[in-house]
A and B are shown apart, each in its own frame.
Chain A
Amino acid sequence: MLEVRNPTKLYIGRPAVDDVSFTIRPGEILGYLGPNGSGKSTTVKMLTGLLESSRGLILYQGRNIRQDLIGYKKSLGYVPEEPNLYPYLTGREYLQLVGRLRCLPAAPLESKIDQLLNLLSLHEHRYSPISSYSKGMKQKILISAALLHNPDVLVFDEPLSGLDVTTSLVFKNLMKALARERKVILYSSHVLEVVEKVCTSVIILRKGCMVANDSVARLRDLLALPSLEDVFSQLVQQEDTEKIAADILDVMQA
């Protein structure tokens, strides 16, 4: 179980994330939503140990992750928002690097890499440098790297960006399968439709603060709205989006 207890992250005295608490149990997929700059990526970075919180605690299996960060990272798989991979390595070499740095045994690692590349339709590009990959292909490499060591905790930050329709469908099914395997999953995204379909519960952030934390169905019921998109608009968007779109058109045509 992953417990996030009131973590706050301050940047030059200003909170990017303020007192956001939640718990993800094994088998749960928590959708993490919010507009740009709402603190999603900061939370993700704290959860993956890339950033230390200014206040508050993150507990995994009841222990502060900072007390045994290496142990926690061994059970963590992380797909970051930006595929900032090493361009001169091939896809296969990158996965070998990650696998070796995770100290996975050599023979099963090679076999896993080949199978994952095959399943994600990257096998024929396995010896091409990453610099020649499209964004979607890089994303597939990141997803493979996050799954190589069969982690118990998975943190996905916009994992579908750049992926083709088929791989997106595969990924959605994979998320459900991982949840059935009792993995702890946090899914941060802007794509409300996917969150609505795969997540067991949802957190909505606004300006670093949590404005909703419940199951999708309960949020829809509570606010008497038909979809998660409407719930999100109700809780987060303070602007008239139709008017902004019309204004943009006016500027274009001026």
Chain B
Amino acid sequence: MAPALENEIAQFRELVRHFFSRFFDNDLVAINTDAADMRATVVNILAMLAAPGMLLPFLFMSKYTNLQMQPMYVRDLASLGEKEFFICFSMTVMGLVTVIEWEMLFPDRRDYANLTPLPIRLRTMFGAKIVALLAFLTVFSVAINAFSPVMFPAVVLQKEPLLNLIPFARCHIVSILAANTFVFFFCVAVQGILMNVLGYRVFRRVSPYVQFALVVSDHPKA
């Protein structure tokens, strides 16, 4: 491999790591903490996000125990409300997390001051930022939905053979990931459009109000 390309790949990896860790450089996570404390806080936050997916399916246990004698399509129809609930819950949490990370969605002034004097191509910088965004989306989507794709189908199907659980879980995962991706990139797009339309100064001024509006309207049924 040519040394220039090798260097660019090394820079890309370093930047992805750097941009990803910057997502946790905010007052909620990193205030007066070192890297080890910050890592512990992040793991705690991810665990907190994962917990509802573990516990909530048990709330519906008795309902589906009573429906066990019903044919599959009846249980499937009966579960529509809960399916919608899991999608809404996942979108809401993802939206909130994205709004908390509002300042970090695009390279900021600090990145400009520190990274622009270095010999890094713009394509490397923006490519790394996009990959860091996707990594962030993946980590939080997985955390929010770590248990529900298995726990919820298991509660609905109960004594059905394990093989029947797979398509149910697959649909659950696809719907939730698509919903999370939509809400995440919706926030990114809103910010990108506002930055370009309003210019930096006006954007800084209206930014808190936009964040407020996004939080208030975050629930998909709102």
Seen from chain A, the residues whose Cβ lies within 8 Å of a Cβ on chain B are 48-50, 70-71, 73-74, 76, 78, 80, 82, 84-88, 90, 93, 97-98, 100-103, 127-129, 131-132
Contacts of A85 in B (CB 8 A): 110, 114
The list of the 9 closest CB pairs from A to B, nearest first, reads A73-B119, A84-B113, A103-B7, A88-B25, A74-B119, A78-B117, A70-B119, A100-B14, A88-B30
Please name the residue on chain A nearest to B118 by beta carbon: A101
- Sampled A-B contacts (6; CB under 8 Å): A71-B119, A84-B109, A88-B35, A98-B114, A101-B14, A128-B34
The listed residue (A73, A74, A127) touching B34 by CB distance below 8 A is A127
Number of A-B contacts (CB under 8 A): 66
Is there contact, CB below 8 Å, between B25 and A86? yes
Please name the residue on chain A nearest to B14 by beta carbon: A100
- How far is it, in angstroms, between the C-alpha of A73 and the C-alpha of B113 when the chains are bound? 14
In the assembled complex, B22 has its CB within 8 A of some CB on chain A: yes
- How far is it, in angstroms, between the C-alpha of A73 and the C-alpha of B114 when the chains are bound? 13
Interchain nearest-CB distance for A146 vs B (Å): 9
The listed residue (A48, A100, A101, A103) touching B115 by CB distance below 8 A is A101
In the assembled complex, B48 has its CB within 8 A of some CB on chain A: no
Is there contact, CB below 8 Å, between A97 and B35? no
Contacts of A132 in B (CB 8 A): 32
Is there contact, CB below 8 Å, between B116 and A50? yes
In the assembled complex, B120 has its CB within 8 A of some CB on chain A: yes
Interchain nearest-CB distance for A42 vs B (Å): 15
5 additional A-B residue pairs with CB within 8 Å, beyond A73-B117, A73-B118, A129-B33: A86-B22, A87-B25, A102-B118, A128-B34, A129-B32
Is there contact, CB below 8 Å, between B34 and A90? yes
Contacts of B24 in A (CB 8 A): 88
Is there contact, CB below 8 Å, between A84 and B25? no
Contacts of B15 in A (CB 8 A): 101
Is there contact, CB below 8 Å, between A84 and B114? yes
In the assembled complex, B121 has its CB within 8 A of some CB on chain A: yes
Contacts of A71 in B (CB 8 A): 119
Contacts of B7 in A (CB 8 A): 103
Is there contact, CB below 8 Å, between A129 and B34? yes
Q: Mark B77-103, 1 if CB is under 8 A from A, else 0.
A: 000000000000000000000000000
* In the complex with contacts A50-B116, A76-B117, A97-B18, A103-B110 CB distance below 8 A: no
**By CB atoms of chain B within 10 A, which of A82, A85, A101 has the most?**
A101
- How far is it, in angstroms, between the C-alpha of A71 and the C-alpha of B4 when the chains are bound? 11
Contacts of B113 in A (CB 8 A): 80, 82, 84
**By CB atoms of chain B within 10 A, which of A48, A71, A86, A87 has the most?**
A86
Please name the residue on chain B nearest to A83 by beta carbon: B113
Please name the residue on chain B nearest to A127 by beta carbon: B34
Contacts of A88 in B (CB 8 A): 21, 24-25, 30, 33, 35, 38
- How far is it, in angstroms, between the C-alpha of A102 and the C-alpha of B114 when the chains are bound? 12
Please name the residue on chain B nearest to A69 by beta carbon: B119
Contacts of B25 in A (CB 8 A): 86-88
Please name the residue on chain A nearest to B32 by beta carbon: A131
- How far is it, in angstroms, between the C-alpha of A109 and the C-alpha of B24 when the chains are bound? 26
Is there contact, CB below 8 Å, between A49 and B14? no
**By CB atoms of chain A within 10 A, which of B21, B22, B110, B119 has the most?**
B119
**By CB atoms of chain B within 10 A, which of A71, A87, A97, A102 has the most?**
A97
Interchain nearest-CB distance for A46 vs B (Å): 12
Is there contact, CB below 8 Å, between A86 and B110? yes
Is there contact, CB below 8 Å, between B117 and A93? no
Interchain nearest-CB distance for B12 vs A (Å): 10
Contacts of A84 in B (CB 8 A): 109-110, 113-114
* In the complex with contacts A93-B35, A127-B34, A101-B11 CB distance below 8 A: yes
Interchain nearest-CB distance for B136 vs A (Å): 16
The listed residue (B10, B18, B38) touching A103 by CB distance below 8 A is B10
Contacts of B116 in A (CB 8 A): 48-50
Interchain nearest-CB distance for A227 vs B (Å): 33
- How far is it, in angstroms, between the C-alpha of A220 and the C-alpha of B117 when the chains are bound? 35
- How far is it, in angstroms, between the C-alpha of A101 and the C-alpha of B14 when the chains are bound? 7
Is there contact, CB below 8 Å, between A98 and B118? yes
- How far is it, in angstroms, between the C-alpha of A39 and the C-alpha of B25 when the chains are bound? 34
Is there contact, CB below 8 Å, between A48 and B117? yes
Please name the residue on chain A nearest to B18 by beta carbon: A97
